[in-house]
Structure 1
Amino acid sequence: MQVHTYASESLHASRGGIGLDDTPQSSRVSSTDQDAHARILRAALTEFTQRGYKGASTRGIAERAGVNEVTLFRHFGSKLDLLRAAVEQALMQMKIPQDLEPYLHGTLEQGLSQFISDYLLQVTAQSDILMLGFSEAFSQPEISDLLREFMWKMRGMIVRYFEAMRERGAIKEGDYPILAHIIMTSLHGAASMRKRTPIEMAQLSDERLTGCLVKTIVDAYARYAPDSPIHDTQLT
């Protein structure tokens, strides 16, 4: 038997379908329902980050949200649905830049530093739920699909950035997908290590992490030395 929930109804509508009837979803869902939905999701985020997926319970989430479990299951069909919604929300808040222009001005070092700084801030802000999502992705294909889609889009954007800088004469030919992979794993790994390693690692600043990663790439791939007058004037 198929269980129809608020969450599945939203997903159906977002894919161009209609829910239980022909009335637009925005008319069917009351502001009270929307408030309860948001409170349940916030409570789930807190429970998941504090207790982990296995340690969190729908009863605890419902109590934290100020609703009963019947209401919780009306909005989200299962605990897995809640985790999926939490991961999806975290990924939506991590904006993938569509316009690369702000990162293309100046030198490779300047543009790359700005991009990596922006990305690291977003990864750090969502690190708790992202770590949980990655840990559960091995056993939950739906979570894995969400993360894979996001990472693929982000990698594509980084590759396009390097290709644009190559056209401007700022970077040598290289394996840009591998460079993108190095950037992403470095930043996600750094955010994770800050949560799980001794205080010395946790205190590493964003500036230090960004500077080291940028210097490694620039030293290997910049068409001109960073301090060369040709490097600066070529890109103005």
Structure 2
Amino acid sequence: MDETSQKIIDAAMSLVRDKGYVATTTKDIAREAGVNECTLFRKFQSKKDIVLSGMEQERWRGNLTPEAFRNIQWELVPDLEMFMTEYMNRITPDFVRLSIGLRAPQLYEEAAPLVMKVPQAFLSTLTEYFQEMERRGKLPHMDFECLALTIFSSTFGYTFLNASFGDQLFSVSREQYIRQSVQTFIQGIQNQK
């Protein structure tokens, strides 16, 4: 990709993150990228084309793949803490705001599969982890997809609230939240045995 195209993509994604897809115009993108609108349209067919090109780039999507969770110890507490920590390390407040900005009806059909790659990577990897823990005799048989969704929802919720409000809403540190969430989760599993 040439430098001008990348400037246009970076400008568009920054504006969508800050203003939302609908409020971002091609004039705004051109101005932010330091090019004229004609140049923008020589490089891309539309605003949607620019944004979808940006979503294909690792820089503008959550860099979360199953490989992020490779430091497994096969012990529930450190492993669940690792899953939550890796998610929170990679899904930054900027990415959360960008994913919110991308939720426009004009873009949803094309954007949703790309945005869903992040939760899919987390959920599928954690579900497989739970299944392996059962095979190793460290977990009883349970609805592992539901358990993975519980951990993901807790992790996503903290990440979303932190991105939206910072420390204005709560004073619980990320580390404290992870430790307490994992302990509560494990107590819940033990009560079901």
For each residue in 1:86-144, what CA deviation from the matched residue of structure 2 results, as whole angstroms up to 9, or x when unmatched?
334357551312385521x15210111112101111122522212223x3269621112
Tell me: CA distance 1:176–1:74, structure 2 relative to 1, closer, same or farther (3 Å): farther
In 2, Cα distance between equivalents of 1:151 and 1:58: 30
Matched, 1:97 2:97: no
Matched residues in 1 for 2:71 and 2:87: separation? 14
Please give the TM-score of this superposition, normalised by the length of structure 2.
Answer: 0.82
What is the aligned partner in structure 1 of residue 46 from structure 2?
78
Q: Distance in 2 between matches of 1:205 and 1:190?
A: 10
Q: 1:138 to 1:179 in 2, by over 3 A?
A: farther
The 1:62/1:151 distance shift into structure 2, 3 A limit, reads same
In 2, the alpha carbon distance for the partners of 1:187 and 1:98 equals 18
Shift of 1:196: 3.2
- Separation in 1 of the partners of 2:170 and 2:9? 28
| Pairwise CA RMSD | 2.7
What does the per-residue CA deviation read over 1:57-111, in whole Å, with 9 as the maximum and x for residues that have no partner?
11111111111212222332211222323334357551312385521x1521011
State how far apart, in whole Å, the 1-side matches of 2:126 and 2:18 are: 33
* Structure whose CA Rg is larger: 1
Alpha carbons 2:63, 2:90 under 8 Å: kept:
yes
Q: Quick check: 1:43–1:65 contact (8 Å CA) kept in 2? A: yes
Separation in structure 2 between the aligned mates of residue 56 and residue 202 of structure 1, nearest angstrom: 31
Partner residue of 2:100? Answer: 131
1:206 aligns with 2:174: yes
**1:173 aligned to which of 141, 148, 166:** 141
SS in 1 for 2:66: coil
Q: Do 1:170 and 1:222's aligned partners in 2 also have CA atoms closer than 8 Å? A: no
Is it true that 1:65 corresponds to 2:37 in the alignment?
Answer: no
Query: How do 1:96-175 and structure 2 match up within 5 A?
Result: 96-98=65-67, 101-103=70-72, 105=73, 107-125=75-93, 126-133=95-102, 135-136=103-104, 140-175=108-143
Could you tell me whether the CA contact under 8 Å between 1:40 and 1:61 is conserved in 2? Answer: yes
Structure 1: any 5+ residue segments left out of the alignment? 1-32, 224-236
Between the two proteins, the alignment pairs up a number of residues equal to 189
Q: Map 1:22-33 to 2 at 5 A.
A: none
Which string of whole-angstrom CA distances, capped at 9 and with x for unpartnered residues, describes residues 13-69 of structure 1?
xxxxxxxxxxxxxxxxxxxx6111211111112211222212111111111111121
Give the 3-state SS of the residue equivalent to 1:172 in structure 2: coil
Return the letter of the residue paired with 2:90. Answer: Q
Q: Which residue of 2 aligns with 1:191?
A: 159
Q: Is the Cα contact below 8 Å between 2:63 and 2:91 reproduced in 1?
A: yes
2:167 corresponds to 1:216: no
Q: Which amino acid aligns with 2:130?
A: F
**How high is the TM-score relative to the length of structure 1?**
0.69
